[in-house]
Amino acid sequence: MAKAPNFKKFRKIVGNDIDALRTEMLAMRTELENAQQQIREVSLTQNAAASALTAIDGRVVQLGRELTNQLHELSNDLEKLEQQSDGASAETIAQLQATQIRLATEQARYEITFRQDLAEIADQLRRPR
């Protein structure tokens, strides 16, 4: 029986193609593993940032409540003082009450602005890059 011509050459070409495919697959696997590692790192960073934002938000809420309680106590103290005061003191108390209202308004405005800033940062962290 006669041997097929160029069989060794064909076998060598197929072997080379298989080796090339193996090399390419290994390179693709390495790239995929690197991409997965980067995704994990970004996810960890985003989770850490989200945790930090949550902690900051909690602290802002706590400070806002404390300030609100203090302003409420001040209001009660001013009302008591107003009941015990004379005419000259009444004007001073009215000014103090106006200042208290201004402080409460500013505190609320700052808290709202800060929460908006936190929400923008959180949105930026959630967006894929």
Q: pLDDT tens, 89-129?
A: 777 878 888 888 888 888 888 888 888 888 888 787 777 65
Task: Tell whether 48 is covered by a domain.
Answer: yes
Asked if residue 78 has pLDDT above 50, the reply is: yes
In a domain, 122, yes or no: yes
| Cα angle, residue 112 at apex, residues 76 and 97 outer, rounded to 5° | 25
The predicted-structure confidence for 38-75, as pLDDT tens digits, reads as follows 988 888 888 888 888 888 888 888 888 888 888 888 88
Only one residue has tokens 């011509």, namely: 5
Domain span holding position 59: 43-129
Does any domain span residue 11? Answer: no
Q: pLDDT tier at 1 (50, 70, 90 boundaries)?
A: very low
Q: Examine residue 14 and state whether it is found in any structural domain, yes or no.
A: no
Tell me, yes or no, whether 82 lies in a domain: yes
Q: Tell me, yes or no, whether 126 lies in a domain.
A: yes
Please give the mean pLDDT across all residues of the chain.
82
Which uninterrupted H or E stretch holds 82? helix 7-84
Asked whether residue 83 is assigned to any structural domain, the reply reads yes
Q: pLDDT tens digits for 28-44?
A: 999 999 999 998 888 88
Domain membership of residue 101 (yes or no) is yes
How many separate domains does the chain show?
Answer: 1
Distance CA 93, CA 81 (A): 8
Q: Tell me, what DSSP letter sits at residue 4?
A: P
